[in-house]
Structure 1
């Protein structure tokens, strides 16, 4: 392994950490800067988001729902088991597990599967699969999904 590989992996690990910290604290503009302008995000159960503005709209809707369904709007995502591969000098893939915790406990969990590219602005996410694997009954995400289903 080259020193540049170690640096690239650490920069990508930092990007993933900054992403969840920005998402948890409502710093949408900073979070969106981590995505390439034409990035695609595919969240489980929702249409794919193409480009930063569709990704912004997705997170703004999630934030509105969170504030509407939670008495204490506290959300913390925890990442683990981060695996980063560097198939080419300016390309990377990563897989990480996430667990989202609210003021009432564990809420939802799953995996992020990312493709990243080195750009003039540093490493950016070009494609993200947000793979939801479970959620707690009557937690925020459960309430959110129930409200969406009743509006269909």
Structure 2
């Protein structure tokens, strides 16, 4: 690994952590800023294209419904194994596994497939495709159902 790749790896890890923490805290501006101007968030049932659209999506009510009993809730993503493959001096593909905890404990898990690019001197997410592997029967994803 070159010195430039070592620096880029640290920057990419910081970007992924910033995106995760902003998403959990519903900090829409900080979350959207992790994406390239034309970045894409490809969800299972919806694709959101462009930083402006990602910002609007994050500002909308959460896709995780509030608890049926009105109890305060939280979700906390924990990034685990992360493999970065540099595809060029200003591009990389990344696969990162994650676990989500909530008041129920381990809530759900999965992975991100990300493509990052260096845009205006920063590593930003050009394309993110999250995939869920497992959901606890008591998950916040089922709240209100």
Q: Give the TM-score normalised by structure 2.
A: 0.89
- 1:48-74, Cα deviation, whole Å (9 max, x unpaired): 1111233234434562644x2262222
- 1:99-146, Cα deviation, whole Å (9 max, x unpaired): 1111221111111000010011500000011111111113111236x4
Instruction: Indicate the RMSD between aligned Cα atoms, in angstroms.
Output: 1.8
Q: For residues 69-88 of structure 1, what are the structure 2 equivalents within 5 Å?
A: 69=67, 71-88=71-88
Q: Does the 8 A contact of 1:135 with 1:142 survive in 2?
A: no
Shift of 1:91: 0.5
More helix by share: 1
What SS does the corresponding residue of 2:5 show, helix, strand or coil? helix
Paired residue for 1:48?
47
What SS does the corresponding residue of 2:137 show, helix, strand or coil? coil
Matched pairs, number: 143
Q: Does the 8 A contact of 1:136 with 1:142 survive in 2?
A: no
Q: For residues 112-123 of structure 1, what are the structure 2 equivalents within 5 Å?
A: 112-123=112-123
What SS does the corresponding residue of 2:62 show, helix, strand or coil? helix
Q: Does the 8 A contact of 1:85 with 1:94 survive in 2?
A: yes
Unaligned 5+ segments in structure 1 are 147-152
